[in-house]
Chains A and B, each alone.
Chain A
Amino acid sequence: MLMQVLANGLMLSLIYALVSIGLTMIYGVMHILNWAHGEIVMLGAMGAYFFFAARGLPFAASLVITVILVGLLSVLIERIVFKPMRGLHLPSFIMSMGLVYVLQAFATVTLGVQDKMLPSVLTGAVFFFGAVLPKERVMLMPIAAALTIGYYLFLQTTRYGRAIRATSMDEVGAALQGISVDRCAAIAMGTGSALAAAAGCLLAPIVKVNPFMGEAIVFKAFIIVFVGGRMSLVGTILAAFLLGYTESLVAGYWNPVWIPMIEMAVLAAVLLFRPGGLVGVEIKKLGAERE
């Protein structure tokens, strides 16, 4: 039992990290609470269904195509919906809520409301110290871990990675170095959404795929962002593991219906004792002057 709980926790944590990193980036660079981030995950799962199940492409190819398409779509969303709203916190939040319904409608019209099951990508299971792990679940772990580590390295070591971090810490300071805040916003939105779409693809073979599957995910992702420390990638990853393991423990030893309650308690406790989150990064110039 314990081994099963630990293995499930690892899988959940890696998926949550992949989903939440994008939310952290979008919040950090654009200061937008993108409630439609869950629908980006949903579009990723729908993409896997469409290309892999309906069109019969290999799963890997479906994943790559979906991630690229959803990434590009999200850049378009940033330009059309979020860019005019930048610096306006409440209106941009309301717009993102509206986007939830727009994207759900889009998915409903194109692929229908009913639950979709994907054919198996891999069959069989791995037995590991008494835990039974279907190969489809095992498969997603190295992919999710590699994407997370790759994104971390992108932020830490590349020119645009530094530019994005700089922009999230001080927009004016970044602009004075010749960095385009607009371009950083587009990159943060595009790459962050691409990771969420990848998470959706990886989830598609093991969950029910439908236009409304994003709603529960985005709530958890927001808890992770605030537990982690809002702008810190390391904090987000730590918080994803905290939440992933909390969830697998509650589901394994108690009752899954109490998961949201326990997660809210975790959030409340963290914010009470460390208002800045686990990795205490305060946003000092939230919504720096619009110039």
Chain B
Amino acid sequence: MLLEVKDVTVQYGKVVGIDQVTLGVDQGEIVTLIGGNGAGKTTTLRAISGMRHPSRGEIWFDGQRIDGLSVQKIVQGGIAHAPEGRRLFDYMTVKDTLLTGAFLQKNKEGITRALERVYAHFPRLQEREKQLASTLSGGEQQMLTIGRALMVNPKVLLLDEPSLGLAPLLVQEIFRIIREINAGGVTTVLVEQNSNMALKLAHRAYVLEVGRITLQGETTELLGDERVKAAYLGG
């Protein structure tokens, strides 16, 4: 396993965000976490990227224990997080935002190559290179969020609700690009409310309910599972 979350509990004060969650991600996979609002999907990603520290349990990445490390250390290790709410830099141009994504890289050629790769996935971002992030459409902002995370040259990409607020056609486009990025060798953990699309894209899935994992398996099986159908796929 490239990434392993073992028995992890995260609390916000006295409120339990996730409760003894265990999951694993293999090299090259797309794994999706699905579940309703407040199920703990975002919290799980935050625990992995170091934004939240678990009160119990362990997180292992690439043979190293990473829970308790700072966000910076975890990014350095190769986990990039395209977070909930996008967290873009409103008054920064698209190009500067992407260059900020390459903050940890000091090698100029490496940065140029990363930039070219992002522009290959998202030609739209190249067209808008000089525009401020706040002036982009929702879809373009989502592309910028993913692009900025890719500039880290991550081994694992954590995506939090990339389809949120986007028109159906755009969602398909974003999902196509996620598949493309994954085919390029980037292991992906995808958090989604759009369970139908997420299950069709991912190799494996975990279903979270009120902070606990209630179901897991190959997406092909889960798509046929009666409980998943009833709760997440609209019957």
| Interface residue A278 (Cβ < 8 Å from any Cβ of B) | no
Residues from chain B with Cβ under 8 Å of A174 in the complex = 89, 100
**C-alpha gap A163/B104 in the complex (Å):** 10
Residues from chain A with Cβ under 8 Å of B71 in the complex = 175-176, 178
| Interface residue A55 (Cβ < 8 Å from any Cβ of B) | no
- A178 touching B76 by the CB < 8 A rule? yes
| Interface residue B99 (Cβ < 8 Å from any Cβ of A) | yes
- B89 touching A166 by the CB < 8 A rule? yes
- A178 touching B49 by the CB < 8 A rule? no
- B51 touching A172 by the CB < 8 A rule? yes
A179 nearest CB neighbor, chain B only: B103
- A162 touching B99 by the CB < 8 A rule? yes
| Interface residue A232 (Cβ < 8 Å from any Cβ of B) | yes
Residue in B49, B52, B90, B151 whose Cβ sees the most chain A Cβ within 10 Å:
B90
List CB contacts (< 8 Å) of A168-186 with chain B: 169-170, 172-180
Contact of A162 among B72, B80, B96 (CB under 8 A): B96
Interface size band for A:
20 to 34
Contacts known (A165-B89, A169-B92, A281-B91); A177 close to B75, Cβ less than 8 A: yes
| Interface residue B83 (Cβ < 8 Å from any Cβ of A) | yes
B86 nearest CB neighbor, chain A only: A173
Chain A 260-291 interface mask (CB, 8 Å, partner B; 1/0): 00000000000000000000010010000001
**C-alpha gap A177/B102 in the complex (Å):** 7
Residue in A179, A180, A232 whose Cβ sees the most chain B Cβ within 10 Å:
A179
A173 nearest CB neighbor, chain B only: B87
Chain A 106-117 interface mask (CB, 8 Å, partner B; 1/0): 000000000000
A160 nearest CB neighbor, chain B only: B103
- A169 touching B90 by the CB < 8 A rule? yes
- A166 touching B72 by the CB < 8 A rule? no
How far does the Cβ of A172 sit from chain B's closest Cβ, in whole Å?
5
| Interface residue B210 (Cβ < 8 Å from any Cβ of A) | no
**C-alpha gap A281/B134 in the complex (Å):** 11
Residue in A165, A166, A172 whose Cβ sees the most chain B Cβ within 10 Å:
A166
A159 nearest CB neighbor, chain B only: B103
How far does the Cβ of A220 sit from chain B's closest Cβ, in whole Å?
25
What are 24 A-B interface contacts by the 8 Å CB criterion? Answer: A159-B103, A159-B106, A162-B100, A162-B103, A165-B96, A166-B89, A166-B92, A170-B87, A173-B86, A174-B100, A175-B51, A175-B72, A176-B49, A176-B80, A176-B81, A176-B149, A177-B101, A177-B152, A178-B103, A179-B100, A179-B103, A180-B72, A232-B91, A284-B90
